[in-house]
């Protein structure tokens, strides 16, 4: 039975309507984009490597974010506009647990991609022996098993906020969030910076040598472009994770910036939107950086619109 929420302060309708419209458009865009990336990376790409499977796994995690995060919030905000009561404890547990678990899966997949690119750049000769498809599949299995554990953990610790404001949730154990998300994020950032430093040194060495094999040069610069692409993905992830977290801590934990009514609107409407945006943007970064991805996406989307199966 739904708990009565009529005593809670709702967000004004003039803010909710644009938010619902934006979430609906974002959901459709994110689903199409990530579905296309997943199909291309794991099925239609002619060169299916360990990296492509990891990219497909990242797209799958982002796809599930779009399929769970946006529908739950759209329903909640529509119920708020129609003045329909909802079980706030159930809403918090279902929306937050799934979002945090899938965000972890997305971040863990990006960490796996970063490690993969690190080994490719730093240990190019040993890379084929270290990174095999079997080990990649084991890593992906571990990512999803851990994500299930994250889901259960947040399901236990997340609850409705004690404040009289609808759709605001409270995390009982902040250290869980720090350990699960910020430690991998720091490791991703450090590894990407180190990869870029090593890659730049190797680029100068290659350009300074006149006897370097043309094929090796092309492969290296292709890998370098891929590294820079993933660095953009990391930058977007960092911005989308840190922005709501830092702003939230400032307003909730600082006496200099007391959390007013406008602050509550931030948490209800904008706070979690950054996580969803991260899952949407990832799907389009590859297309903007690589022509072959862009062409493949157009081909697959055309097939989807025609209700046919994608082909090579």
Taking only the tens place, the pLDDT of each residue in 187-206 is 888 888 888 888 777 777 76
Taking only the tens place, the pLDDT of each residue in 23-33 is 899 899 888 88
CA 83 – CA 92 distance, rounded (Å)? 18
DSSP secondary structure string, 238-288?
HHHHHHHHHHHHHHHH-SSS---HHHHHIIIIITTHHHHHHHHHHHHHHHH
What pLDDT does 162 receive? 61
Residue 311 lies in a domain: no
**CA nearest neighbour of 277 among 234, 228, 236, 231:** 236
Domain count, the chain: 1
Residue 132 lies in a domain: yes
Residue 280 lies in a domain: yes
Residue 1 lies in a domain: no
36-45, 139-148, 220-229: segment of lowest average pLDDT:
220-229
Residue 69 lies in a domain: yes
Residues 6+ apart with CB under 8 A from 102: 61, 62, 64, 65, 68, 69, 147, 279
Residue 138 lies in a domain: yes
Average pLDDT over residues 154-172: 69
The DSSP call for residue 167 is: T
| Full domain range(s) for residue 187 | 13-305
The more confident residue out of 145 and 76 is 145
Residue 194 lies in a domain: yes
**CA nearest neighbour of 51 among 120, 100, 108:** 120
Element (H, E) at 234: helix 214-253
The DSSP call for residue 160 is: E
CA 139 – CA 217 distance, rounded (Å)? 30
Residue 93 has pLDDT above 80, yes or no: yes
Among all chains, which residue has been given the structure tokens 């889901």?
151
List 159's β-bridge partners, or say none. Answer: 170
CATH classification at residue 158: 1.20.1070.10
* Exposure on the CB side of residue 181, measured as CA atoms within 13 A: 21
Residue 293 lies in a domain: yes
The pTM for the full model equals: 0.80
Give the angle subtended at the CA of 210 by the CAs of 207 and 214, to the nearest 5°.
80
Residue 141 has pLDDT above 90, yes or no: yes
């Amino acid at each position: 039975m739904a708990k009565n929420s009529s005593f809670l302060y709702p967000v004004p309708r003039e803010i909710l309507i644009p938010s619902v419209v934006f979430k609906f458009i974002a959901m459709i865009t994110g689903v199409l984009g990530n579905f296309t990336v997943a199909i291309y990376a794991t099925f239609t790409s002619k060169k299916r490597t360990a990296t492509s499977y990891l990219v497909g796994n990242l797209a799958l995690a982002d796809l599930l974010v779009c399929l769970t995060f946006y529908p739950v919030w759209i329903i909640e905000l529509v119920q708020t506009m129609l003045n329909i009561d909802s079980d706030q404890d159930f809403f918090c547990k279902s929306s937050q647990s799934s979002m945090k678990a899938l965000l972890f899966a997305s971040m863990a997949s990006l960490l796996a991609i970063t490690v993969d690119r690190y080994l490719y750049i730093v240990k190019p000769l040993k890379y084929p022996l270290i990174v095999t498809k079997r080990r990649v599949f084991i890593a992906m299995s571990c990512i999803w098993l851990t994500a299930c554990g994250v889901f259960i953990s947040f399901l236990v610790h997340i609850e409705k906020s004690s404040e009289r404001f609808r759709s605001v949730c409270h995390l009982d154990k902040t250290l869980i969030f720090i350990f699960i998300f910020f430690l991998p994020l720091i490791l991703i950032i450090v590894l990407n910076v180190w990869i870029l430093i090593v890659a730049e040194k190797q680029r100068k060495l290659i350009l300074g040598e006149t006897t370097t094999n043309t094929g090796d040069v092309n492969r290296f610069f292709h890998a370098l472009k891929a590294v820079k692409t993933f660095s953009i993905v990391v930058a977007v992830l960092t911005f989308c994770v840190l922005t709501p977290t830092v702003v939230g801590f400032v307003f909730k934990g600082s006496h200099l910036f007391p959390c007013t009514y406008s602050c509550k609107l931030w948490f209800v409407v904008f706070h979690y939107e950054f996580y969803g945006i991260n899952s949407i943007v990832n799907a389009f970064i590859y297309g903007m950086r690589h022509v072959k991805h862009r062409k493949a996406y157009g081909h697959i989307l055309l097939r989807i619109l025609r209700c046919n199966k994608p082909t090579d």
